[in-house]
Amino acid sequence: MAPPRKLHIKSYGCQMNVYDAQRMVDVLTPEGFVETASVDDADLVILNTCHIREKASEKVYSELGRLRQARDEAAQNGRKMQIAVAGCVAQAEGEEIVRRAPVVDVVVGPQSYHHLPQLLARADAQGRALETEFPVEDKFGFLPQPAPATIRARGISAFVTVQEGCDKFCTFCVVPYTRGAEVSRPVGAIIADVERLADNGVREITLIGQNVNAYHGDGPDGHAWTLGRLLQRLAAVPGIVRLRYSTSHPNDVDDDLIAAHRDLAALMPFVHLPVQSGSDRILAAMNRKHSAADYRRVIDRFRAVQPQIAFSSDFIVGFPGETEVDFAATLALVTQIGYAGAYSFKYSPRPGTPAADMQDMVPAAVMDERLERLQQLIDRQQSAFNKAAIGQTVDVLFERAGRKPGQIVGRTAYLQPAHVFPGPGMAPDALVGQVLPVRIDSLERYSLLGELAATPPQHARPLAATGA
């Protein structure tokens, strides 16, 4: 029997890429690959790329330069290393990657990674393989399911893709061009995925999509289901104690989703709802198709049914034509909403998007200064939100043993890390997968520190011991 080949995947960017990386492992495991954390001993290195962040493609080329050295060293030791570029940069710049980076064997878009075994074989035979067309078939119908041991090894939280692509065409965004039009997976396939994960120890599911609340998958009743209705069904899956979803668009928050936040205890009261700007003029230039007032009304609808809900968001600073008045409107919106956290970025043009051709670019120094002001405001809000937990008892889903002996780490409903010492005679592993009340005593950077507020059930055993 041939020894296993070693696979190293480096993922950039969004949660979708984390999920895609796991599915690439699932595709390649039957081909004799096993994962390695080191590039140096890998037989196949995959860069799973993201095109959202600034200078994304240049970072990929820089990484390929380092990989060329690793490949040369492997060759000197009589070992062949293959290199693949996957993801959104591959989709957007496939031919350019082929031209600029001869070291790359395979270039594959995010809709075609289920073809990786065939592409690697083609590269062996022909020297190079490129596939960036949107395939006719649904890749999910061809992806092998991960083995039970693999699911358990990945932990008690899992991502499940329910929707891909976007039809919004925001002027700054490449997603419609790299991920394609909105497509939703059938309800039955998602339920089967979630049940399989739950049967193998997963307790928390995050449903993901580029525009996840535009979900409209075919249901078993012959009708298209909304995200809210899907969440209602998944909340009934035995073993699933927490549900989340990301990322949402304000225009697709419908009554079913609001009702789910009202009715489902398993649905966490924490929503990532990007707004990008607080200025109506800039929102129009971004083609967001909503105003700042529209966004505030959506927030109010959530809060009306779930007073404990908290929000995070995305902001772009320095979009072409942004004035100080526009930026002040963003600061005003952030101040009014009050976020538990947010991501803010300086605008950078993406080739092929309408905004890339816009004039009136904001000077870099002005963008830097505005970004600093915005991030300071967001940091103050996040700090206040975290400090408010001190002295409170909160539910924590425990995920793993901590770095310190006897310590266990979990997350609150708001994804805050919580570090706990359960006490003498209690093995941290026995608490993994349980949701238990924790009294928060202090805060260390972004992590909450506390102690159990109740004694865990006597029958608690590690998930690995139960096989669940």
Annotated binding site for [4Fe-4S] cluster: 14, 50, 88, 166, 170, 173
User: Alpha-carbon distance 133 to 464, whole Å?
Assistant: 42
Omega before residue 247 within 30° of 0, cis: yes
Q: Is 360 left (phi over 0), alpha (psi -120 to 50) or beta?
A: left
417 within 8 A of 403, measured Cβ to Cβ:
no
Annotated binding site: 14, 50, 88, 166, 170, 173
Q: Which residue has the tokens 């993994």?
A: 432
Classify 369 as helix, strand or coil: helix
Long-range (24+ apart) CB contacts under 8 A made by 105-109 are 105/129, 106/82, 106/130, 107/131, 107/132, 108/84, 108/132, 109/133, 109/134, 109/178
Which H or E run includes 69?
helix 56-76
Rounded to 5°, angle at Cα 264 from 262 and 270: 75
- Rounded to whole angstroms, the Cα distance separating 219 from 217 reads 6
Cα(104)–Cα(102) distance, rounded to whole angstroms?
A: 5
Q: Which helix (H) or strand (E) holds 195?
A: helix 187-199
Q: Which amino acid is it at 3?
A: P
Q: Output the CA–CA distances (angstroms, integers) from residue 391 to 379, 416, 438, 449, in the order listed.
A: 21, 15, 10, 11
Tokens coding 394: 């909160």
Question: Is residue 340 within 8 Å of residue 297, measured between CB atoms?
Answer: no
Count the neighbouring beta carbons within 10 Å of the beta carbon of residue 333. 21
Which class for 303: exposed (0-12), middle (13-18), buried (19 or more C-beta within 10 A)? middle
Cβ atoms of residues 50 and 12 within 8 Å? yes
| Half-sphere exposure in the Cβ direction for 252 (13 Å, CA) | 22
CA R_g for the chain? 23
| Sequence-ordered alpha helix ranges (H) in 338-363 | none
Report DSSP state, residue 156.
Answer: S
Q: Which two tokens stand for residue 7?
A: 């696979």
210: left (phi over 0), alpha (psi -120 to 50) or beta: alpha
Residue 75 burial (10 A CB sphere; 0-12, 13-18, 19+): exposed
